[in-house]
Chains A and B, each alone.
Chain A
Amino acid sequence: MDYPLLHVLHRDVEKQFCLRYMKIGLFVPCYVDALYPEVGVATYKLLRHYGLDVDYPEKQTCCGQPMGNAGFQTMAHQLVENYDALFQKYDYVVAPSASCAAYVRFFHPDITNHACKAAAKTMDVVEFLHDVLKVDKVPGRFPHKVSVHNSCHGVRELGLSSPSERNIAPFSKIKDLLGLVEGITVMEPERPDECCGFGGMFSVEEPDVSTRMGTEKVNRHIATGAEYVTGPDSSCLMHMQGVAKRQGLPIKFIHIVEILAAGL
């Protein structure tokens, strides 16, 4: 829908107007649903805080990435069709999981062999807040030192931050958002975007390499002096949390929306 009159109005008015009429579909990926529902809750509360109309279609399950990355993309076919049918009516689909959002956006069309309306509108919550809502205030107050975990698919597929391999002007949507949080101290580990070694079923097919990578990554986060590791992807956090717990490494893990929405 186009509102030509709006062009003469003040940009903020336009923004408020559009936000009011925007319908958001909330996609809470399967493992977040089962293991980290608080991340889904924080996302919902945060989007509502910005006055958005948020809906959660209850028949949603999984985006199909676990099967796809393991080599069974064909088993994900029906899930992808279901996703498209469930979510295509929304203006945006927002998911608090960078890797799932990237899989939907970049892999779904190849799996179905047709354009996926929902996939084109799916965004990770960080890029949605940063690029669409362009928020300049967040409700969260978080007087702690955190170390940012730049998840691979967030960095290299969604472009949440500039990949260290590339010669492009450095940016980080994650740090931009965390910078709005009152009281926070934001750190980054040495090798800021090296993989933590999760890789979906990589972690069970190559458990030794996966654990070794996870251990090194957790130790680099600890070396920043941070109390928390935070990032846009609970799957990386889950992997590192499992490794840290096994080895008794002293650091906590928290999804970035839980920080942005702290206190809501």
Chain B
Amino acid sequence: MSEIRDILVEQVERLLTDQSNPTLLRAAETGTWPATLWAEIEALGLPLAMVPEEQGGAGLGWGDAAAVWHVLGRHGAPVPLAESMAAAGILATAGIAPPAGLLGLVVPREMGLPWGRQVENLVGILDGNVVLHPATAHKHGLQPISRLPYDGRVPGHRAAAAALPPALGPDGALLAGALIHAALIAGALEAVLDMTLDYANTRKQFGRAIGGFQAVQQLLARCAGEVAATGVAVANAGRAADRRGLAGAEFEIASAKVVAGEAAGIAADITHQVHAAIGFTDEHPLHLFTRRMWAWRDSCGAERLWARRIGDAALARGGDRLWADLTSRDEETAA
């Protein structure tokens, strides 16, 4: 929890409050790249925020970065800043100077890259190395639920490679991607809850605001529990990654992605139910967030993948170790 994090969170909040809106989010779904917004983000140096200060970045850790991504998600993540930030951070950790321009984070088994068509360079982890390739030929794709560009890119010649730092681990790109999408969901959850609270307090039926009905209150209270749980799970995952590297934070990142994915489903059910027919229309902005959450929960490993990883590890360790493992992670590091 650093001072620089507070500054960046506030900067991103201000910028997106100003510039991200339903019109921009809708335009993205027809392939219009928010060039002005991206230019401002680059001018603020945000894509390099995870690069150490001495290399021209802001030196954000994973926890700090997750806080920025959380804000991004609350505004519908109009640009793939999170992926570009993480890719630059991974390069810098391996000692490779990040090139200018949008970076794509290559996550194994993902069908495409968010806004892949705009990506200039690809960053991935391959055979024990962090590698950097220029992005060449591309194939336009579409994420079927968010309807956002989700393009395939062909890596060009290898521009740089460096030995993989153990803190990242062979799954580093997947773990980073999972943390990103959990954080984006955490933010989007706040957006849909706030939107729904406003609606419940203004929409009147039977002569009163529908938020006055216990049936509606009970649903929204449950939704708030899911929103809070996801926020805590993401913060915990970021803290764990700062303490033990991405590889050492697999349990916490996996947990965050599982909780975020489950919460996305539950919160989308509840917020659509409370909005009723108007929330099912194209005109109402609710779906700009719920569709993104549904897409994000499938990105970089859905609940199934991450839950299995946690479960396999726990089953291998056995019941006698279950509680000890749950409590020891942060205490051993702190000790």
* A and B held together in a complex: no
Task: List B residues at the A interface (Cβ < 8 Å).
Answer: none
Interface residues of A (CB under 8 A from B): none
